[in-house]
């Protein structure tokens, strides 16, 4: 079977890690017809907008996309490509597994998952200037979205053999908005009796993440808290360069590297493609290509265990092409062994 998948290479190191990931997917024996669509900072300069309608149309048609990092101006300019994608396609569930790789970060052995509501909260972008020098940002919370992200988290926990869901909130202060989300989660929990619901205030959750992260299981939370805790979790396992991400809705899914564009090393062949390759593993599972996904995952673990060919960000000497070639070799070896 040939899968038609939208590919958004992105900015900076995006095209390099995207090409590396395509090469690894091919080595795993998966046939893909890539629908390449450019988006991001460079596209905004040439086409006047960072996310042209053609990109959204492609994802709607293909129902699956792989995306490299896209640049976003700070404090002005155009709206984030990521936020626009999530809201335009109703990709309401952001899923970030935070799992340690061998010999990358020795302080912890982390294995948790953060499920973040992806379309509401402060990231809804409802901002206005009330008067000169006074800005207001409105936090949007609906029962529908709160309930469906809770349902997603509990179903994820059930299907992945995880016994606990921790709902992270600030309902002690934001009693109406976070209170609504907390109440919706409490109503969902009894429908999943095999999964324990734990409730935790966001600042306490941040502390627990750096002391006993695995006790949290699957974290489910609103948009801003999830964004911050996801990056905190990435710090526990070596950084954003090692963490995969997915944005999932009922009609489409976008799998992405969550790190930045790293313009300082763009075009130098130094980028570590691990994050996007790990995101591709999630994508292949989503597409039902389980054997290929497992082969790539095993190859990632072996490459980091052996540390013979790793990139400079973790003390190695390999560039992007050498790292990719070694991973492809391991993937083919694992496939042949599996028969």
Residue 74 pLDDT = 54
Residue 78 pLDDT = 57
Report how far residue 32's alpha carbon sits from residue 35's, in angstroms, rounded to the nearest whole number.
9
Strand locations in the chain, DSSP E? 2-8, 31-36, 64-67, 93-99, 111-117, 121-131, 134-140, 164-169, 196-201, 218-221, 244-248, 253-257
Please check whether residues 122 and 96 belong to one and the same domain: no
Please check whether residues 90 and 9 belong to one and the same domain: yes
Report how far residue 87's alpha carbon sits from residue 123's, in angstroms, rounded to the nearest whole number.
10
Q: What stretch of H or E contains 337?
A: helix 320-338
* Domain limits for position 185: 106-236
C-alpha torsion 65→71→77→78, nearest 10: 0
Residue 105 pLDDT = 81
Residue 125 pLDDT = 80
Which of the following is catalytic: 11, 178, 227, 304? 227
Domain boundary among 214, 236, 258: 236
Please check whether residues 75 and 122 belong to one and the same domain: no
Tell me the HSE value of 209 on the side-chain side, using a 13 A CA sphere: 28
CA 112, 117, 119 angle in degrees (round to 5)? 150
Which of the following is catalytic: 170, 178, 225, 304? 170
Residue 149 pLDDT = 98
pTM of the predicted model as reported, rounded to 2 decimal places: 0.93
Please check whether residues 110 and 73 belong to one and the same domain: no
Contacts of 138 (CB under 8 A, 6+ apart): 122, 124, 126, 127
Please check whether residues 179 and 60 belong to one and the same domain: no
Residue 107 pLDDT = 80
Active site includes 227? yes
Which of the following is catalytic: 123, 156, 225, 304? 123
Active site includes 231? no
Residue 250 pLDDT = 96
Pairing of strands 218-221, 111-117: parallel
Residue 123 pLDDT = 84
Please check whether residues 124 and 225 belong to one and the same domain: yes
Please check whether residues 230 and 114 belong to one and the same domain: yes
Please check whether residues 281 and 259 belong to one and the same domain: yes
Please check whether residues 114 and 93 belong to one and the same domain: no
CATH number at residue 137: 3.40.718.10
Helix (H, G, I), strand (E, B) or coil at 195: coil
Question: How many structural domains are present in the chain?
Answer: 2
Across the strands, what pairs with 65?
Answer: 6, 254
CA distances to 31, 94, 108, 143, 238 from 186, in Å: 43, 20, 31, 12, 34
Please check whether residues 268 and 232 belong to one and the same domain: no
Residue 173 pLDDT = 96
Residue 192 pLDDT = 98
Residue 136 pLDDT = 93
Please check whether residues 194 and 205 belong to one and the same domain: yes
Domain boundary among 236, 251, 282: 236
Residue 79 pLDDT = 66
Please check whether residues 135 and 208 belong to one and the same domain: yes
In this structure, what token pair is assigned to residue 213? Answer: 């992260």
Residue 45 pLDDT = 86
| Sequential pLDDT tens for the chain (339 residues) | 999 999 999 999 999 999 999 999 999 999 999 999 999 988 888 888 899 999 999 999 999 999 999 887 654 555 678 888 998 999 999 999 999 999 998 787 999 999 999 999 998 888 899 999 999 999 999 999 999 999 999 999 999 999 999 999 999 999 999 999 999 999 999 999 999 999 999 999 999 999 999 999 999 999 999 999 999 999 999 999 999 999 999 999 999 988 999 999 999 999 999 999 999 999 999 999 999 999 999 999 999 999 999 999 999 999 999 999 999 999 999 999 986
Which of the following is catalytic: 109, 175, 187, 203? 203
Report how far residue 199's alpha carbon sits from residue 210's, in angstroms, rounded to the nearest whole number.
17
Domain boundary among 205, 236, 267: 236
Residue 101 pLDDT = 96
């Amino acid at each position: 079977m040939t899968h038609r998948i939208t590919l958004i290479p992105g900015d900076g190191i995006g095209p390099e890690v995207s090409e590396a990931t395509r090469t690894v997917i091919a080595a795993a024996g998966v046939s893909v017809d890539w629908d390449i669509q450019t988006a991001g900072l460079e596209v905004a300069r040439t086409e006047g907008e960072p996310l042209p309608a053609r990109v959204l149309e492609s994802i709607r048609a293909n129902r699956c996309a792989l995306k490299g990092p896209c640049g976003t101006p700070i404090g002005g300019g155009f709206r984030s490509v990521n936020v626009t994608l999530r809201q335009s396609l109703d990709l309401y569930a952001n899923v970030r597994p935070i799992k340690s790789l061998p010999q990358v970060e020795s302080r912890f052995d982390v294995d948790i998952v953060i499920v973040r509501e992806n379309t509401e909260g402060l990231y809804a972008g409802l901002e206005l200037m009330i008067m000169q020098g006074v800005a207001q940002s409105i936090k949007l919370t609906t029962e529908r979205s709160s309930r469906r992200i809770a349902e997603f988290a509990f179903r994820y926990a059930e299907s992945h053999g995880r016994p606990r869901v921790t709902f992270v909130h600030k309902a002690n202060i934001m009693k109406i908005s976070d209170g609504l989300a907390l109440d919706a989660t409490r109503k969902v929990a009894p429908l999943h009796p095999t999964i324990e619901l734990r409730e935790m205030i966001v600042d306490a959750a941040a502390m627990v993440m750096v002391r006993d992260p695995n006790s949290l299981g699957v974290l489910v939370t609103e948009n801003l808290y999830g964004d911050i805790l996801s990056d905190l979790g990435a710090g526990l396992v070596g950084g954003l360069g090692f963490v995969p991400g997915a944005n999932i809705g009922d009609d489409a899914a976008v799998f992405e590297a969550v790190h930045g564009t790293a313009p300082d090393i763009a075009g130098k062949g130094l980028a570590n493609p691990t994050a996007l390759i790990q995101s591709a593993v999630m994508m292949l599972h989503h597409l039902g290509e389980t054997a290929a996904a497992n082969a790539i995952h095993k190859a990632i673990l072996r490459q980091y265990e052996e540390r013979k060919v790793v990139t400079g960000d973790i003390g190695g000497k390999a560039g992007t092409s050498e790292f990719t070639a070694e991973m492809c070799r391991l993937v083919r070896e694992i496939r042949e062994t599996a028969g």
